[in-house]
Structure 1
Amino acid sequence: MQIEFTAPLWQWQARTDSWWFVTVPPEHSDELADLPLPPRGFGSVRVRVTVGSTTWTTSVFPSDSADGYVLPMKKKVRQAEGLEPDEPVSVTLETLDV
């Protein structure tokens, strides 16, 4: 499954070591939650992500506080793509292992 969306970049305030995320919109989070996947840690779903010209493999994680799945945004990606806090990020997310 491939999902495209745009959402703001935000920092998780519960930690002091700068974890940054983009929240997958609720309708797409519901689609991810419904996938028939083998159990993985923390309910994560393996994905291939493209932001701008950068593509990488990671996992999205369900988050009660974000009301859906969250996509961690590595510092290397944020820097390469010039991403700024609270600014919209256009994401293409492709599920793996389905």
Structure 2
Amino acid sequence: MELEFSGEMWFWKGPAPWHFVTVPDDQCGDLEATSTAVSYGWGMIPVTAQIGETNWKTALWPKDGAYIVPIKSWVRKAEDLELGDLVTVNLEVDL
């Protein structure tokens, strides 16, 4: 399963701060249906993500009925991303 979407990068400053992009609601239904076959716990979905020319392995995190993509610091640096940027994300669910 492959997805492409754009969203604003946001910051969560909890005990372990992270930057994220939220998967749009209209694409979360397909992900949720796939999650039972691929999730390794807590609803996490393993994916290969791409922003610009940068690819990495990560997992989608379930949050408030949607999924969020964690954007690692080295990805943000490689793609010159800042908080609030509109980011286009390509995802391939790892089966």
Q: Within 2, Cα distance between the matches of 1:76 and 1:6?
A: 20
Count residues in correspondence: 94
Query: 2:63 maps to what in 1?
Result: 63
Offset of 1:40 from its aligned partner?
Answer: 1.8
Q: Within 2, Cα distance between the matches of 1:42 and 1:12?
A: 19
Counterpart of 1:37 in 2: which secondary structure?
A: helix
Q: What runs of 5+ residues in structure 2 fail to find an aligned partner?
A: none
Q: Within 1, Cα distance between the matches of 2:38 and 2:24?
A: 23
**Percent of pairs with identical residues:** 36
Offset of 1:18 from its aligned partner?
Answer: 2.7
Moved segments of 4+, more than 4 Å: none
Q: From 64, 72, 76, give the equivalent of 2:70.
A: 72
Q: What runs of 5+ residues in structure 1 fail to find an aligned partner?
A: none
Asked whether 1:5 is paired with 2:9, we answer: no
> Which piece of structure 1 moves more, 69-78 or 15-24?
15-24
Query: 2:28 maps to what in 1?
Result: 29
Change (3 A) 1:93 1:38: closer
Give the TM-score normalised by the residue count of structure 2.
0.91
Counterpart of 2:37 in 1: which secondary structure?
A: coil
Q: Within 1, Cα distance between the matches of 2:44 and 2:9?
A: 19
Offset of 1:51 from its aligned partner?
Answer: 0.3
> Which piece of structure 1 moves more, 30-39 or 84-93?
30-39
Offset of 1:27 from its aligned partner?
Answer: 1.1
Q: Is the 8 A contact 2:39 2:45 kept in 1?
A: no
